[in-house]
Amino acid sequence: MSVATAASVISAFALMRVIGALPAGRLVDRFGESPVMAAGIGIVAVSSIMAGFSRSFAELLVLRGVGGFGSAMYSISAQALLLATVPSEQRGRASGLYSGSFLIGGIGGPAIGGLISAWSLRAPFFIYGIMLLIPSSIALVRLRGAASQRLPSSPKTGCLGWVRGKNTVQAPARPFSSLAAVLRNRAYVAAAVANLADGFAILGVRSAIIPLFVHAVLHKSPVWTGIGFGVFTGLNGLVLLPGGRLADTLGRRPVIVAGCLISAGGLVMLAVLPGTGAFLAALAVAGFGSGLLDVAPSAMIGDLLDGRGGTLVAAYQMAGDTGAVTGPVAAGFLVDSVSYSAAFGVAAGVLGVAAVLGLAAPETRGRAAPEPRQGAETSTTASYEQ
């Protein structure tokens, strides 16, 4: 199997996560987080086991695509449940723990899978699928009552609803009407664009371009790619909980802006500073900034939820996945047509745009929703135009 063929299997999974995000969000709004989470994990589990039995590349590609949709169902329902049930003053730290669990899995999974694949290329699919049946059962049985612990909408949580006296204007019932309205909210747009920029610059460009940069520019062995990624991941993990605490105390907006600017600074260092030492220092700076972006934007999204927010969380996650898919393509084009420095510079520019939007966004931590103007329509759409 060629490298391009192997990569297409990974791309099918990622592409279906993007395509399936909004439908998965609607399922969450319709049926609730727990059943959708259980179903999503179950779909990934069954499709992975069946992929282990696949007899052709076409079968493998289709099954991985199905798994990508199941992954979208799981990740959206899990984050929506987390953000809806954690108090505002703890939402940043909870997002840090959530991101940290994915970070550990992202490190340990490929390492263990690589060892297992040396014995059998089909074995990782079977083991992965069987292990996923455990969290699927937990989501279906143990988390069934989690929806009852959902925090009520209130002016102190900064939820998207006008409050006047004892009457709260609730979020619209139709998910896509809600999404269309919330896209006019500056805080939501700032959080989504920050997630897109992080996916584009950090996940996309770093993963795709750094290994080539180490070989073509630094003239080092692949070992240095691993060292650089280790430095990045280490700083990223170390800042998750402190960054979450800062988002819970100082606010979401300053942490988002700082994360964008620090990450952009690391990429600028990659673009202009020569040498292996500068390379490692740049990845350390970028990892620090990315850790801040792993907690503050999602906490801001949680502040804006009113009732079930599957579609809103889906659009937020889709922004990050879109950045991760388009980042390598854009960076690869720039490397081929201009230079590595141009690729890093454009990625830094995307983060800079996200920082500007973050500066223009209102703070959502503990913010009371303003009262509507006299004579203004108390419509659900108006509640999003903050």
Q: Is 163 helix (H, G, I), strand (E, B) or coil?
A: strand
Average pLDDT of the chain?
A: 78
Q: Please state, in angstroms and rounded to a whole number, the distance separating the CA atoms of residues 96 and 111.
A: 23
Please report which confidence band the pLDDT of residue 379 belongs to, taking 50, 70 and 90 as the band edges.
Answer: very low
> How many other CB atoms sit within 10 Å of the CB of residue 266?
28
DSSP string, 226-253: HHHHHHHHHHHHHHHHHHHHHHHHT-HH
Average pLDDT over residues 83-87: 80
Q: Please state, in angstroms and rounded to a whole number, the distance separating the CA atoms of residues 104 and 114.
A: 16
The pLDDT, as a whole number, for residue 380 is 35
Please report which confidence band the pLDDT of residue 204 belongs to, taking 50, 70 and 90 as the band edges.
Answer: confident
Choose the weakest-confidence range: 113-117, 158-162, 260-264, 351-355.
158-162
pTM of the model: 0.76
pLDDT above 80: residue 198: yes
Q: Please state, in angstroms and rounded to a whole number, the distance separating the CA atoms of residues 153 and 309.
A: 12
pLDDT above 60: residue 312: yes
pLDDT, tens digit, 9 for 90 and up, residues 318-330:
898 888 888 888 8
> Pick the residue with more confidence: 332 or 192?
192
Choose the weakest-confidence range: 13-27, 136-150, 231-245.
136-150
pLDDT, tens digit, 9 for 90 and up, residues 87-135:
878 888 888 887 777 667 666 555 566 566 656 667 777 787 788 878 7
> Pick the residue with more confidence: 349 or 169?
349
pLDDT, tens digit, 9 for 90 and up, residues 228-248:
888 998 898 899 999 999 999
Please report, rounded to a whole number, the percentage of residues in the chain having pLDDT higher than 90: 21
**What is the token pair recorded at 218?**
């630094």
Average pLDDT over residues 263-283: 92
